[in-house]
Structure 1
Amino acid sequence: MKEKEKNTDQLLSEIEELKNQLFEAHSIIDSIKQGEIDALVVHQQGKAQIYSLESADYTYRILIEKFGEGALSIADNGMILYCNEYFSKLIGIKATNIIGTLFEDYVEFPSEYKKLKNSLKNGNAKGEINLKFKNKTVPVYVSLSDLHPMVSAFGIVLTDLSEKKKHEKALDLYQRQLEAKVNELNLSNINLEQFIHVISHDLKEPLRKILTYTSLLNATKSQIFSEKEISNMNVISSSAQRLNSLVDDLVKYAFSAVKEDTSTVDLNEVLTEVLDDLELLIKENNAKINCDGLPKIKASKVQMRQLFSNLISNAIKYSKKEMIPEITILSEKVDGNSIQMPEDNYFKICFTDNGIGMNPDHLGKIFTIFQRLHMKNEYSGNGIGLAICKKIMDNHSGKIDVESSPDGSIFSLYLPISPQ
């Protein structure tokens, strides 16, 4: 009887111990399921032992789960052992249904993925592949890491490139459209140049005949014409001369819009050549030109000559009748920020005259083609000269400003200083 009671007590004790072990096992499993702890299974001598991983390792697992990129661990045979929430949402399949499947099943071209995997022997492998699932293709950037010898697996971190590829495609399309527009514009410019040559030739030829024959009639037949008829002849001649001048100016304006090859240009030489060209105009008006030295710049010499010529001839043309025209040309370096320009430094070249000046309200209009501030019978010209100056400055990534008062005007040129 005593032996039986002893056996009973031993059995009850063993049952109680088993209950405690079972309770402990259930507690660990429940904690693992609820994400309170992670577990590591270690197989030793055919037996599996469970070790719990707490605190820092749990935080790490939460980080991977909430990662803004896809994260997977994959066995050597290609089976997915783990995937985070991001990857699950990316392909629209629950994580429980992904684990245990082959990663290659989600890759559009498995050979590209295998090539990346094979390169792991040289260290971490990175590259772009396409995922394909549910008739949908997603470009991703993947980074593979070998987890051996700690774990017989490797890890993958992948980034969705869909938006990036979309922007690249849109940018590429825009680039091709822009190139097409540039080619179209270049062709248009070539056609325009040819058109200008043809128009200038075809217009100037009959104009030359009109001027020649009206001059001949005035010289040989003026005695048989009445005063009214001679006046009419002079109107014809004057109009033909104005039209001839307008055609010349239009051709200059059209070609001032064309960017030419630049070279190092000494503006002192440019000024000397322009003063030689304007020698008669300067002598007729007793004009004085003062200059204290100009810099060398990267520019089109032809267009710089046109620019200087227009500014100097304009200053002489719009001088005060009671005063000798005087033009002073000065140069200095200025900081780009001070003039709200993109380059670091600029040459500021000022043309100051003592002419009639301009109404401040009209200063915004003077660089517009055909814009005249005076009557035709007061001053000659077609309102194109200053428009040409602005075009030339635009071609050289510079700008032109003007200040004016009854005492005269100051035209300021800002030309970028090219690095040596």
Structure 2
Amino acid sequence: AAVPFKGADSIEKIVQRQLPAMRLKNITDIIQSGQKQPINDLLKAHELIRRGIALEEVTLNGNRSELIKANSSNNLLTYLLALVAFLIISVTFLQQFFLRRKSMWLEGFLESILNTTQNGVVYYRAVRKENKIIDFKMEYANQAIDSLLGVDPKKIIGKKLTQIDSYILKTDIFSRFKEVVESGEPMRFEHFYQHHGIEKWLYLSITKLHDGITVAFHNIADIKRYEEELKKNITELEQTNLELEEYAYAASHDLQEPLRKIRTFGGFLQDTQYEKLDEKGRLHIDKILQSTERMSLLIKDLLSYSSLKQKDEFVPTDLNEILENVLQDLEMIIAQKKAIISHDGLPEIEAIPVQINQLFYNLVNNALKFSKDDLPLHLDISCRTVNSDEIKDVPGLQPSTLYYEIIFSDNGIGFNQSYAHQIFGLFKRLNDKSSYAGSGIGLSLCKKVVTNHGGIITANGKEGIGAQFYIYLPVPVKPVFVAPPVLQ
């Protein structure tokens, strides 16, 4: 009688133990994960089956033909299992081979991109002790750091900052590195690099990546040099403008005395000799006196323009009160022109009162000067609060800022809109000086006042229809409007 094979129970236990795992997990995954026990168990079960299947079958059936058949079936199963195992291993090997090739290609592609850029790119991994960052280890650096910092990347990759040099540790850069890792918030800043005989301005961008940081930086020396040159030019320009203003003020002041003498003697000739002269002589005296009058007005406006300073003190200023004072000053000419001037409630703002007075005076006087001979002037002054989105077509306004929009709108002779950008220039005149008095400085003075208050002034006009002047002043506080009466 055949001796029963003692390994049958162990085969069943091994197969029962590993079959659920094999059903739930792909064999390829098991091989790749390095879990050897399931495969070893199955191979062991296979060996036990191969050695004991025939004896077990003889014991059960006592039939030699069945034993031969069992052996034949067992051999076929063995070959099939071996073939399956070979295919699995082959497929796994090919997958790993192609994945490695693809990974190497991607790494090489990324490396070529990083080495092509002129920006330095570095990756540091945080080094911790008792969960506190005490250092950083350089895991990657591209070739650009050689030209930017004078450091060979091959010599420092894999080293800690304390092993490379102490420059970063001595500056605030190290604390910034730690802050980015701990907070997760990116950081960008400028830094003046002084090390290894190299001095240059760098712009750094730091971003957290895993338990470390990626640092990208580039040379901004040219930008800083341009900034310094620009600051120098601005300073020189401001100094030149100051000197020109001082010269204009002094020259205008000094010109008043000889001009007074010309006017005095011209007036004397007109009073004593006018009737004795022929028509040509009288014309000469009239031209002298007219020229001195225009010269006097020009000098007065030059003195006003030169005396405008942005450094004057800003105080709470009621624009209604300023406007009422201006209208009283111009009361006679308003009556002569039979002008109707109306205005909404104007706000109280932080301003330089004397300059706002000059602004309103010039704009009202400008409307009176350029009114029509056959139609009474109607000047409307309105004000509203607007945001930059409502007036986005106006150049020079700051985004997300509230503005007072003050509009002076008249029905005078107007002007061609194509000249709108010229009328605020010094000595710019659109009309014949013989028909309309003035020095050509009034609107330039208006622009300077508005600029001193951080605002913008623009103009719209239509010939024969009228003109509108728009003043935009930033809103510092909530406006308080006072309703005034209509002045006729």
Query: TM-score by structure 1 length?
Result: 0.64
Query: Within the alignment, does 1:338 sit opposite 2:390 as a pair?
Result: yes
Structure 1 Cα separation of the partners of residues 256 and 203 of structure 2:
66
Could you tell me which residue of structure 1 aligns to residue 123 of structure 2?
69
Q: 1:381 pairs with 423, 426, 438, which one?
A: 438
Structure 1 Cα separation of the partners of residues 454 and 366 of structure 2:
23
**1:388-399 equivalences in 2 (<5 Å):** 388-399=445-456
Could you tell me which residue of structure 1 aligns to residue 407 of structure 2?
350
Structure 1 Cα separation of the partners of residues 144 and 408 of structure 2:
69
Structure 1 Cα separation of the partners of residues 267 and 141 of structure 2:
90
Consecutive unaligned residues of structure 2, counting only runs of 5 or more, are 1-31, 34-95, 97-105, 112-120, 130-134, 146-150, 183-190, 479-488
Residue identity matched to 1:413: I
Could you tell me which residue of structure 2 aligns to residue 230 of structure 1?
282
Structure 2 Cα separation of the partners of residues 220 and 136 of structure 1:
84
Deviation sequence 1:176-224 (CA, Å, 0-9, x none): 5555445434433442332122101221211111011010111122243
Deviation sequence 1:294-350 (CA, Å, 0-9, x none): 111222211111111111111111111122222121212222211123152221222
**1:149-298 equivalences in 2 (<5 Å):** 163=218, 166-167=219-220, 177=229, 179-256=231-308, 258=310, 260-298=312-350
Contact 2:420-2:459 at 8 Å conserved across structures: yes
Contact 2:161-2:168 at 8 Å conserved across structures: no
Structure 2 Cα separation of the partners of residues 331 and 102 of structure 1:
65
**1:12-23 equivalences in 2 (<5 Å):** none
Could you tell me which residue of structure 2 aligns to residue 47 of structure 1?
none
Query: Within the alignment, does 1:364 sit opposite 2:421 as a pair?
Result: yes
Could you tell me which residue of structure 1 aligns to residue 21 of structure 2?
none
- Distance verdict in 2 for CA 1:109–1:256, change over 3 Å: closer
Report which of the two has the higher share of strand: 1
Structure 1 Cα separation of the partners of residues 425 and 123 of structure 2:
57
Contact 1:107-1:132 at 8 Å conserved across structures: no
Residue identity matched to 1:86: A
Structure 1 Cα separation of the partners of residues 385 and 323 of structure 2:
19
- Distance verdict in 2 for CA 1:110–1:294, change over 3 Å: closer
Cα drift, residue 162 of structure 1: 6.2
Question: Secondary structure of 2:445's partner?
Answer: helix
Structure 1 Cα separation of the partners of residues 471 and 411 of structure 2:
18
Structure 2 Cα separation of the partners of residues 236 and 131 of structure 1:
70
Cα drift, residue 289 of structure 1: 1.7
- Distance verdict in 2 for CA 1:107–1:281, change over 3 Å: same
Contact 2:253-2:299 at 8 Å conserved across structures: no
Residue identity matched to 2:427: F
Contact 1:107-1:131 at 8 Å conserved across structures: no
Query: Within the alignment, does 1:86 sit opposite 2:141 as a pair?
Result: yes
Structure 2 Cα separation of the partners of residues 204 and 88 of structure 1:
72
Percent of counterpart pairs with the same letter? 31
Structure 2 Cα separation of the partners of residues 140 and 197 of structure 1:
46
Could you tell me which residue of structure 1 aligns to residue 38 of structure 2?
none
Contact 1:104-1:110 at 8 Å conserved across structures: no
Structure 1 Cα separation of the partners of residues 455 and 336 of structure 2:
33
Could you tell me which residue of structure 2 aligns to residue 313 of structure 1?
365
Deviation sequence 1:47-71 (CA, Å, 0-9, x none): xxxxxxxx9xxxxxx99x9994145
Structure 2 Cα separation of the partners of residues 93 and 71 of structure 1:
16
Cα drift, residue 272 of structure 1: 1.2
Structure 1 Cα separation of the partners of residues 194 and 370 of structure 2:
75
Could you tell me which residue of structure 2 aligns to residue 107 of structure 1?
165
Select the structure of larger CA radius of gyration.
2
Aligned residues, how many? 330
Contact 2:140-2:157 at 8 Å conserved across structures: no
Structure 1 Cα separation of the partners of residues 468 and 195 of structure 2:
69
Question: Secondary structure of 2:390's partner?
Answer: helix
- Distance verdict in 2 for CA 1:106–1:89, change over 3 Å: farther
Residue identity matched to 1:392: V
CA RMSD of aligned residues (A): 4.5
Structure 1 Cα separation of the partners of residues 153 and 235 of structure 2:
49
Cα drift, residue 270 of structure 1: 0.5
Structure 2 Cα separation of the partners of residues 318 and 87 of structure 1:
70
Structure 2 Cα separation of the partners of residues 157 and 175 of structure 1:
34
- Distance verdict in 2 for CA 1:181–1:372, change over 3 Å: closer
